[in-house]
Structure formats: structure tokens, C-alpha cells
Amino acid sequence: QTETLAAIRNLPAQTTDGRHVTLAANIEFPDEIPSVLEHGADGVGLYRTEYFYMNRKDLPVEDEQFEAYKNLATTFGDKPVIVRTLDLGGDKFISQFNLPKEMSPFMGWRAIRFCLGRPDIFKTQLRAILRASVFGNLKIMFPMISGVEELRRAKEMVEEAKKELKGRGIAYNAGIEIGAMIEVPSAALTSDVLAREVGFFSIGTNDLIQYALAVDRTNEKIAYLYEPTHPAVLRLVKNVVEAGHRANIWVGMCGEMSSEPSLAILLLGLGLDEFSMPSASLLEIKNVIRAISYETAKKIAEEALGLATGQEVNTFLTSRLKDLL
Ligand code: PEP
Ligand code: MG
């Protein structure tokens, strides 16, 4: 039996047999905070920080970023706020960088690659996050990690940023948790190795799907090939969740795939621990999770993993959702 959405706002995201998952919000702008609170989120699972750098000629200085992160940290208190470091490039262009034109921007100098090449910009952001970390429960997440060396280098930069703050006598949370987005197939396939380096994973399916299926996420002409339910995508997701759990870290998802009710059953069944999505979808997903048992979801996921095409998976999951609600 389903409950009305408003009625479950303050109820836990828990299956009928007691498995609890975290439902968090994706945000891009600070003015989205009221909506996050209104929809009863357990925190922020993805804070896209690109907006700081958009529509302006200068770079945001440390203090400006610090104030914004501090505001988030204070607002959410004990609840986690995962700050994703600058994910520039790909479909996120920012004029003031005057970046060289690239033939394949999605496979080019973007996200963590750009940040590692511009330590001045990267460390300014890291120091701002670290300073704000004493005001709440902030975590740092790196986008577009494709291998363990990149991840280690990014972590070193965090350590350097900590040293710089220490030198200035400024407080920070020395134990701030660090996570990696898993959105490149090479990362998904080596997630056992990556898991030893971080406190959590968050699967970025918007990118993972495009890279796994070789389908540009912005190209309308081939949008029909962009299938979240493609067996290759499901296997990658399963691999990441299992590798994370073997290493005792939690695994979330902040790509759009996590906000689709029929897919939520599958993801729940695969063992996903955290679902992060636009606030407006949170209650709908909570409703699904509260309507099913973890045991049933696991069986459904297993059956879905045995199907041959994205279309078959889709049809199967849609009909399971219909049975449920
Ligand atoms: C993703 O790739 O799934 C993701 C959440 O990051 P973005 O959409 O900002 O690239
Ligand atoms: Mg991405």
C-alpha cells in the first residue's frame, strides 16, 4: 500500500524488511537549499560547484567560496554535504578560462584533469572547502577519476592545501572524508583498487553511460542509444557497488539514473547505499523504497542482470514497478 508523498517526508527511506538507504539531493546553486530541506533530504549528495566560475571575468577567490561552503555546512549541520570539486570542460564551458578548442571535449582536458593541471585554481577551492569543514559535515568528491594515480595526486593536493592552512594558523577538519565519482569505465572496472583510497564512491551515470556506450550525452541524433538500462551499464554499476562493499565503503549514485522510480528498484537490489538526485524527485523515490522489500529488490535485480537488452530490462522493471504501486 502506498502512502501519499507528503506524508512520507519525515519517514525514513527504508524497505519493508528494514534496509535503510540515504536519500540526498543534487544542487547547483545555493538558492536550491530551501527545496532540499522541504523535501526531507538526508543531506547533499552532489554539490556542483561550477556556478562559481560562470558568467564572470575573474576567478572566485578563496574567501568567496569559503562563505558559500560555510553557509551550506552550517545549514545542514550533522547531515553530509558532498562538495564536488570543479568539473570544468565537457559540456560545462566557462568563458574566462579561454580553453583551447578540443576535438572531443568530453574526452579532453576536463574536471580533475584540468584541476591537476591548474593547482592554483584547484588548491584555492580545496582550501575554501577545508576551512568551511569545521562548520558542519562537508566531504570532498573528485569528478572524472580515471585511474588511481589521478586519485592519489588529487589527495596529495588536499594534503598540500591543509599544510598551507596550517601555516596560516587556520582551522580545518583534518579528517575530512574524500570520495571519488565513478563515471569513467576504467574507474568502474578498477573500483576495487580505487576503493582502498577513499571513504566513498558516487556513481555518475550521466557520464558513465556516455563513456561506456560511446554515446555523446549531448547529441540528439544518437539519444536513442543512451540507455541507462543497457546490460553493460548494469554490469558496471554492479561491479562498483560490490567492490565498494568488499572494501567497506559506501556507494552512492548522483547521476540521473537514481531518480527514475523503476530503476530505483534495480539499484536498491544491487545494494546501492545512497541515492542522490534533484530534490523534486526525492519523495517519489522514497515511496518506491518504502513499498518494497530488499529481498524482492535483490531478486528483481538478479533477473534484470540476466536480460539481453536495455529495452528488455526497461520493460521488465516498469512492470515490476506497476505491481508495486
Ligand atoms: C554524472 O556524470 O552523472 C554527474 C552526476 O555529473 P555531471 O552530470 O555534473 O557531469
Ligand atoms: Mg559527470
- Label each residue of 8-41 as H, E or C: HCCCCCECCCCCECEEEEEECCHHHHHHHHHCCC
Three-state DSSP class for residue 197: coil
Grid cell locating 4: 501519499
Q: Is 48 in the pocket of ligand 1 (CB under 6 A)?
A: yes
Q: Label residue 3 by pLDDT band (50, 70, 90).
A: low
Percent of the chain with pLDDT over 90: 90
Q: What ipTM, to 2 d.p.?
A: 0.99
For ligand 1, the distance from its centroid to the CA atom of residue 255, given in whole angstroms, is: 5
Q: Is 297 in the pocket of ligand 1 (CB under 6 A)?
A: no
Instruction: Report which ligand 1 atom has the smallest distance to the Cα of 143.
Output: 6
C-alpha 314/C-alpha 266 separation (Å) is 10
The pLDDT of residue 93 is 74
Helix axes of 231-246 and 261-270: crossing angle, nearest 10 degrees: 40
254 flagged as catalytic: yes
Query: What is the end-to-end Cα distance of the chain in Å, rounded?
Result: 7
C-alpha 236/C-alpha 45 separation (Å) is 20
Instruction: Report which ligand 1 atom has the smallest distance to the Cα of 203.
Output: 3
- Other beta carbons within 10 Å of 240: 26
Catalytic residue among 187, 203, 236, 254: 254
- Whether residue 95 is predicted with pLDDT greater than 80 in this model: the reply is no
Q: Is 315 in the pocket of ligand 1 (CB under 6 A)?
A: no
Residues 286-300: what's their mean pLDDT?
Answer: 98
User: Hey, which bits of the chain come out as E strands?
Assistant: 22-27, 44-48, 80-84, 137-142, 177-182, 200-203, 250-253, 274-278
**Could you please report the per-residue DSSP string of 107-142?**
GSS-HHHHHHH-HHHHHHHHHHHHHHGGGSEEEEEE
Q: pTM to 2 decimals?
A: 0.97
pLDDT digits (tens, 9 = 90+) for 229-277: 999 999 999 999 999 999 999 999 999 999 999 999 999 999 999 999 9
Phi/psi region, residue 111 (left: phi>0; alpha: psi -120 to 50; beta: rest), is left
CB 52 within 8 A of CB 320: no
Q: Which residues define the annotated binding site for Mg(2+)?
A: 183, 207
The pLDDT of residue 233 is 98
For ligand 1, the distance from its centroid to the CA atom of residue 163, given in whole angstroms, is: 30
- Whether residue 1 is predicted with pLDDT greater than 80 in this model: the reply is no
The residue contributing the CA closest to ligand 1 atom 7 is 206
For ligand 1, the distance from its centroid to the CA atom of residue 86, given in whole angstroms, is: 12
Structure-model confidence comparison of residues 150 and 95, the more confident one: 150
Strand partners, 26: 46, 278
- Whether residue 2 is predicted with pLDDT greater than 90 in this model: the reply is no
Of 278, 301, 299, 229, residue with least CA distance to 45: 278
Instruction: Report which ligand 1 atom has the smallest distance to the Cα of 255.
Output: 3
Q: Which residues define the annotated binding site for phosphoenolpyruvate?
A: 48, 84, 206-207, 217
The number of the ligand nearest the C-alpha atom of 254 reads 1
pLDDT digits (tens, 9 = 90+) for 20-77: 999 999 999 999 999 999 999 999 999 999 988 888 888 999 999 999 999 999 999 9
C-alpha 39/C-alpha 173 separation (Å) is 29
For ligand 2, the distance from its centroid to the CA atom of residue 290, given in whole angstroms, is: 29
CB 15 within 8 A of CB 290: yes
CB 197 within 8 A of CB 151: yes
CB 263 within 8 A of CB 229: yes
For ligand 2, the distance from its centroid to the CA atom of residue 194, given in whole angstroms, is: 17
Amino acid at 216: D
Residues around ion ligand 2, judged by CB within 5 A, are: 183, 204, 207
Q: Is 205 in the pocket of ligand 1 (CB under 6 A)?
A: yes
C-alpha 27/C-alpha 314 separation (Å) is 28
SS3 content of the chain, % helix, strand, coil (to 5): 55, 15, 30
